[in-house]
Amino acid sequence: MTLARRTSWSLVMSASATTSVCARAPRARPRGDSSAGAMSVTGVSTMPPPQEQPSDTGIGNPTTDCHVGPVLPALPYCHSPPVVERCFSRPTLIGARMAGPVGLPVIDTMIGFPHEGFDQYDFIRRQTKDRESKENFEFPVEYMFKDVPKDLPTDDPVSLLLAQMDRFGIEKAVVGVSDPSADKALKLFGDRFVPSGAVSDPNDVMGSVAAIRREYEQYGIRATSVFPSGTFPQVPIDDPKMYPIYATCVELGIPIFVCAGVPGPRIPFKPQEVSRIDIVMFDFPDLVFVTRHGCEPWEDLAVKLMLKWPNLYYSTSAFAPKYYPKAIIDYANSRGADKVLYAGYFPMGLSLERIFRDLPNVPFKDEVWPKFLYGNAARILGLEN
């Protein structure tokens, strides 16, 4: 039975669970330690599925928007891994929070902190040539994303993101260490946030290599990333300038997340042609390479390459679940259960309400879900026990 046919939801509430969750103090996570601490939960009752409520901010109200029916009393707020009912038959609500769509914890490999304004996209605007992108779009892909979360509170970005993570059962989030909020998040909530780097300008080859090493030593980054079409001048996936970067990732034992396929912003796609990945995997067989942003329109080629190269993976970033490519779903349900991992796009382009509302309708097999939501990311990021 697929999740699309499942309509029952449960509410997990108990005084003991509430007390035990909120009594947990943040703890530092040593490198390589991903234990979250199991808790018992009792008192399961059936509730209707949640319905998305109107929200001007894109984050909703965590105490009322998760379900219909009586409004739950607000729990004392805390930043701790969500309590999860280990259930494969239906999603669960924990207090006022929704766990993963099959009752499993989630690692989000693409999520960010809210920012005031849209200056963070200036690096894309300077490359675009059309007037609409330069003058009208706040978000460079507004022609595709119609409900971009805007006007989010920015006085405490870390608390806002943690509240969203708790609400939707996101146990860990991969965040960029270059973000101004990352220091606070990693120091105070190291068990919730996973540090990642970003290669901003691979044209500066030695500078990029030095930055990866510095972030590894300072933050213990578990991965790095690059947006080939977004670099300026553009640096293709298989460009020789990328090779020292790939070699550094192999040496440090960290994966690299790489945007592949036609980019959303109105800039050339050639640097991100999926066919370019083949020679990279040939030259770096030990490199763990994770694609981002869909690989369209070459999803079938991406599947062929994942079958060919054992260290090539696919993440679902920037795609609402209803638009996950069929080729990727079919691959995950057959030979690729260990190769496809969840990534969202909050707050850049998608609300978590929309993502987690649509997720239960993705026709993954039961055995795929725990790997997709958590296991595959935990393995390649070194977060397994």
Q: What is the pLDDT of residues 339-376, one digit of tens each?
A: 999 999 999 889 999 999 999 999 999 999 999 999 99
126-128-133-135 Cα dihedral, nearest 10 degrees: 50
Burial class (CB in 10 A: 0-12, 13-18, 19+), 26: middle
pLDDT average, residue stretch 135-151: 79
- Write the CA distances from 61 to 64, 72, 146, 351, integer angstroms: 6, 12, 21, 13
Q: 90-119, pLDDT tens digit by residue?
A: 344 444 444 445 578 999 999 999 988 777
Return the minimum-mean-pLDDT range out of 128-132, 141-145, 163-167, 296-300: 141-145
For the chain, give the longest Cα–Cα distance: 60
| Model pLDDT, residue 102 | 55
CA 326 to chain centroid: 20
Contact 133, 127 (CB under 8 A): no
**CA 343 to CA 147: how far, in whole Å?**
18
Q: Are 50 and 90 in contact (CB under 8 A)?
A: no
pLDDT 10s digits, 218-274? 999 999 999 999 999 999 999 999 999 999 999 999 999 999 999 999 999 999 999
- Cβ atoms of 327 and 303 within 8 Å: the answer is yes
pLDDT for res 162: 97
